[in-house]
Amino acid sequence: NPLDGLALRDRGLLSVYARGDDYHEVLKGRLKQLGGWMAARLGGDLKVFVDTAPLMEKPLAQQAGLGWQGKHTNLVSRDFGSWLFLGVILTTADLPPDPEETDHCGQCRACLEACPTAAFPAPYQLDARRCVSYLTIEHKGPVDPDLRPGLGNRIYGCDDCLAVCPWNKFARAGREQRLAARDDLAAPPLAELAALDETAFRARFARSPVKRTGRDRFLRNVLYAIGNSDNPALVPAAKARLDDASPLVRGAAVWALGRLLPRPELLELARAHAGAETDPDVRVEWERVQSA
């Protein structure tokens, strides 16, 4: 249960799908195998996609009978719950269609109420600007300060709305070993992650989907988690990033220290660093913590 990791405030929480090898590569290989079999048996042209084409996979999957789009906008399966990946094979072969799946959410609102940043304005609607998965993976700049506390210790993605879905009682453990969670990504220490330079980041996440965020964005998330930890023992890890080459990382370090340090010590740190800061976003972070 990924929700168990939320209590480990000095450790980072990665979405469960990101704790093994990159699913894009694993699924694409499997799809090519299946596509080769289909081409040999059925003929026709085909193409395979795993998040690499402008296709609305979830509505297509519902029409194909694989599941339905739940109130959290993700696909839910009566066989697998919410824990699944989607890949696509487009083919010109003439195949008999399966019946479309219908909605089985009923009156349940568990996923909507579980969201830490209130990203669902209504059932079946997602405001990506508030979604933790979007903010920690796709969003390139500093995260809105009002949303940072809601990130908690989530440093790559979020599983909360998936984890509470009651249809998960039918889920079964996968057998693909390349997607199995690596021990070093289960709940890595935040202080350890904050020390990663570019080379170490690339080495640690070489086969992981995490690598696509890049080191700077990832450390931004790590430092927000440090700021949310309420753990003064992590202050040195944040201080070490005040001189980081990346403004994104420096700004996140300022915010983290603003949450962890006593005000006199924070103001002393500001006098030593804020005046020499040249990046406007980081200067705003210093101004914000000094005026708080």
Tens digits of pLDDT across the chain (292 residues)? 889 999 999 999 999 999 999 999 999 999 999 999 999 999 999 999 998 889 999 999 999 999 999 999 999 999 889 898 999 999 999 999 999 999 999 999 999 999 999 999 999 999 999 999 999 999 999 999 999 999 999 999 999 999 999 999 888 888 888 988 888 998 999 999 999 999 999 999 999 999 999 999 999 999 999 999 999 999 999 999 999 999 999 999 999 999 999 999 999 999 999 999 999 999 999 999 999 8
Which residue range(s) make up the domain with 214?
Answer: 194-292
Amino acid at 165: C
Q: Distance of CA 184 to CAs 12, 14, 17, 179, Å?
A: 11, 11, 14, 14
Instruction: Say whether 51 is catalytic.
Output: yes
Residue 87 domain flag: yes
H or E, element range at 89? strand 88-91
Residue 218 domain flag: yes
Residue 177 domain flag: no
The residue out of 91, 113, 138 marking a domain boundary is 91
H or E, element range at 76? strand 75-76
Which residue is associated with the tokens 């998330």? 221
- CA–CA gap between residue 182 and residue 185 (Å, rounded): 5
- CA–CA gap between residue 222 and residue 203 (Å, rounded): 17
Residue 168 domain flag: no
The residue out of 91, 108, 142 marking a domain boundary is 91
DSSP-based three-state secondary structure for 71: coil
**Tokens of residue 117, six digits:** 């940043």
Residue 14 has what DSSP assignment? E
Which residue is associated with the tokens 């299946």? 34
The residue from 4, 22, 51, 197 that is catalytic is 51
Domains identified in the chain, total number: 2
- CA–CA gap between residue 119 and residue 116 (Å, rounded): 8
The residue out of 54, 73, 91 marking a domain boundary is 91
- CA–CA gap between residue 240 and residue 262 (Å, rounded): 18
DSSP-based three-state secondary structure for 220: helix
